[in-house]
């Protein structure tokens, strides 16, 4: 079973992961992984920390030369900003140095009471979206493997505030090239200007803004996932992974939130096209009864505004036990743009895990042969 743990703190020495279950003999392109980390750090509205860090991954085990060995893989991303924080992170704080004013919407208050360390700093260090750097690296390795198996994952920003980008075919390379060149990862040039203006206004006002991301996974064969048990349903598994990303508050598969559609128009009619089974539409988002149906898996992910804002809102001082104004911790204006990259890589891990659950293999070429044989014979049953 493919699995991983990650560790590390926002201003600690490094972010680390150990991945178990990656098949042997896969040739890793480390530049691909580092480019995914670079994509995560780019985008309009990013905070000043992105000017400090230049994330690059290092392999400490499980890789010989460029090839995976089948052993557990250890990946590390060193935090450059640690040098500016080591005197704070590396010592026991004095009572007056402890953070006791929680930011509404963050994990500050719940972490303070759950773990009882008496310092919100300990919660901040782990709840920070900095954790998504190592999850992106893990997912990028999985994404590389999926690409070799004929499975591709792409994304775009769907909305920012109340502005929505056009619905387009993101598997058209010309269209997707334009999206990737956009500082806000959208297609429509006028909408791009609107997104940028919204971010600028929020920055001036000491505010943050949320929005949504469109994710699409192409090439997953029919039959991945299962309805035989509730915890094996593919959409449930993907939801679990997506909801674990900081700031995510809702998920939609296909057009599941279009309440105007009736059964006769929502359900995707099945047709034969050039000898293959296809769907006229994809309202279900590529998953039925918890199992992939061969169409693109399409998901919209809704992300809240970042809770660390400069504008004053009410909170409490936990030491003095009285109401006060919130404090500001360095942050971006919007998490939506980098979240689109993070989410691509997060879902890559879960898709590869479910692929490997169906096509069990210890070695990469064995895995590739199994999935190719299945694709060629599944509709002959």
Does the annotation place 126 within a ligand binding site?
yes
23 is in an annotated binding site: no
Is residue 246 a known part of a binding site? yes
Three-class SS string for the chain?
CCEEEEEECCCCCEEEEEEECCCECCECCHHHHHHHHHHHHCCCCCCHHHHCCCCCCEEEECEECCEECCCCEEEEEECCCHHHHHHHHCCCCCHHHCCCCCCCCCCHHHHHHHHCCCCHHHHHHHHCHHHHHHHHHHHHHHHHHHHHCCCEEEEEEEEECCEECCCCCCCCHHHHHHHHHCCCCCCCHHHHHHHHHHHHHHHHHCCCCCEEEEEEEECCCCCCECCCCHHHCHHHHHHHHHHCCCCEEEEEECCCCCCCCCHHHHCCCEEEECCEEEECCCCCCCEECCEECCCCEEEEEEECCCCCCCCCCEEEECCCCEEEECCCCCCCCCCHHHHHHHHHHHHHHHHHHHHHHHCCCCEHHHHHHHHHHHHHHHHHC
Question: Any binding-site annotation on 305?
Answer: yes
- CA separation, residue 260 to residues 46, 106, 254, 264 (Å): 37, 35, 14, 12
Nearest to 205 by CA among 285, 298, 98, 305: 305
- 137 is known to lie in a ligand binding site: no
Q: 10 Å Cβ neighbour count for 255? A: 18
Q: Is 285 annotated as a binding residue?
A: no
Biggest CA pair distance of the chain: 73
Q: Is 369 a known ligand-binding residue?
A: no
Is 327 known as a binding-site position?
no
Place of tokens 């893990």: 138
Confirm whether residue 307 is marked as ligand binding. yes
Question: Is 247 among the annotated ligand-binding positions?
Answer: yes
**56 marked among binding-site residues:** no
64 belongs to an annotated ligand binding site: no
Annotated binding site for FMN: 126-128, 246-247, 289, 304-308, 330
Binding-site sequence positions: 40, 46, 126-128, 246-247, 289, 304-308, 330
Annotated binding site for NADP(+): 40, 46
């Amino acid at each position: 079973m493919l699995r991983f743990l990650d560790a590390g703190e926002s201003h600690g020495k490094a972010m680390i992961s150990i991945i178990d279950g990656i098949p042997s003999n896969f040739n890793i392109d480390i530049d691909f992984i580092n480019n995914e980390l670079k994509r995560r750090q780019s985008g309009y509205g990013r905070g000043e920390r992105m000017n400090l860090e230049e994330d690059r991954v290092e392999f400490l085990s499980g890789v010989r030369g460029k090839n995976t060995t089948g052993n557990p893989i250890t990946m590390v991303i060193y935090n450059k900003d640690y040098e500016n924080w080591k005197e704070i992170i590396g010592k026991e704080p004095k009572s007056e140095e402890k953070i006791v004013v929680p930011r509404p919407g963050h994990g500050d208050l719940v972490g303070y009471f759950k773990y009882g360390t008496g310092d919100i700093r300990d919660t901040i260090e782990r709840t920070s979206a900095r954790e998504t750097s190592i999850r992106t690296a893990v997912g990028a390795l999985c994404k590389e493997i999926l690409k070799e198996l004929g499975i591709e994952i792409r994304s775009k920003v769907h909305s920012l505030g109340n502005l929505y980008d056009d619905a387009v075919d993101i598997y058209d390379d010309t269209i997707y090239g334009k999206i990737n060149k956009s500082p806000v990862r959208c297609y429509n040039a006028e909408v791009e200007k609107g997104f940028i203006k919204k971010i600028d206004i929020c920055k001036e006002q000491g505010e943050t803004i949320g929005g949504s991301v469109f994710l699409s996974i192409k090439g997953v064969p029919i039959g991945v996932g299962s309805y035989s048990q509730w915890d094996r349903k593919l959409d449930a598994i993907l939801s679990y992974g997506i909801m674990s990303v900081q700031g995510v508050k809702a998920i939609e598969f296909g057009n599941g939130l279009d309440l105007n559609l009736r059964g006769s128009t929502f359900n995707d009619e099945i047709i034969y096209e050039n000898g293959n089974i296809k769907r006229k539409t994809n309202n279900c988002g590529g998953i039925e009864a918890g199992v992939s149906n061969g169409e693109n898996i399409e998901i919209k992910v809704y992300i809240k505004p970042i809770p660390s804002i400069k504008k004053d809102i009410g909170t409490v001082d936990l030491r003095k036990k009285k109401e006060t104004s919130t404090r500001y911790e360095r942050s971006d204006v919007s998490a939506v743009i980098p979240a689109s990259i993070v989410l691509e890589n997060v879902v890559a891990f879960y898709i590869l895990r479910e692929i490997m659950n169906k096509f069990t293999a210890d070695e990469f070429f064995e895995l590739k042969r199994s999935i190719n044989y299945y694709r060629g014979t599944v509709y002959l049953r």
